[in-house]
């Protein structure tokens, strides 16, 4: 029975795999030193999954369990806050923080397109939900937004009086 563990502590950062139910662990080749933040498993039948990092972009792990590569369409120094996939599994929505702003990217194959950017500097997108014909996001400026046209236009569903903050401990 295989298990996966993500570690981001000093000296032990990366993606680790156990093939014996957790008795022993080995680093997934190529993941050493990655500061992982989130893992996203694609919908079945795909066995591909994604690793979002703190300042090191988005990484893909193939269904064979052996391939590990950077998703080049997403900025290599982006912080990945949230990942969601379409029900068909062919489109990935990735909330990144890059250049002082939160941005929702639509990734299909090797092509990425920006779908929403938080209008205020220093605010991210912390939640993404993809359903049939709609995308919903929660942004750090307090907005809860929804799109019914694949992110071309957005409607504010509600807004908090204060912003939303995600605190990520910095490596000492």
Q: What pLDDT, on a 0 to 100 scale, did the predictor assign at position 36?
A: 81
pTM: 0.83
Alpha carbon 172 to chain centroid, angstroms: 24
The C-alpha torsion from 51 through 2 and 43 to 116, rounded to 10°, is: -10
CB 46 within 8 Å of CB 55: no
Residue 96's CB is within 10 A of a number of other CB atoms, namely 26
Return the beta strands (E) in the chain as ranges.
3-9, 12-18, 26-27, 36-41, 49-53, 58-61, 68-70, 79-85, 92-98, 101-108, 111-117, 125-131, 134-139, 143-147, 155-159
| Rounded distance between C-alpha atoms, residue 94 and residue 38, angstroms | 11
Q: What pLDDT, on a 0 to 100 scale, did the predictor assign at position 172?
A: 45
CB 128 within 8 Å of CB 119: no
pLDDT mean values, one per 10 residues, the chain (172 residues): 55 72 78 82 71 90 75 88 87 93 92 93 92 91 93 92 63 47
Q: What pLDDT, on a 0 to 100 scale, did the predictor assign at position 168?
A: 54
Residue 1 structure tokens:
């029975």
């Amino acid at each position: 029975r295989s298990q996966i563990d993500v570690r981001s502590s000093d000296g032990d950062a990366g993606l680790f795999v156990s093939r014996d139910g957790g008795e022993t662990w080995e680093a997934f080749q190529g993941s050493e030193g990655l500061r992982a933040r989130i893992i996203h498993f694609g919908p079945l039948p795909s066995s591909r999954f994604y690793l979002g990092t703190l300042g090191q972009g988005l990484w893909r792990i193939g269904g064979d369990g052996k391939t590990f590569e950077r998703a080049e369409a997403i900025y290599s120094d982006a912080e990945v806050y949230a990942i969601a996939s379409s029900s068909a599994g062919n489109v990935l929505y990735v909330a990144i923080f890059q250049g002082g702003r939160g941005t929702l990217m639509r990734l299909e194959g090797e092509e990425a397109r920006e779908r929403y950017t938080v209008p205020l500097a220093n605010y991210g997108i912390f939640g993404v939900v993809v359903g049939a014909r709609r995308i919903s996001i929660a942004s750090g400026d307090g907005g809860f937004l929804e799109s019914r046209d694949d992110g071309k236009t957005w409607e504010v569903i509600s807004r908090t009086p204060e912003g939303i903050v995600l605190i990520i401990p910095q490596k000492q």
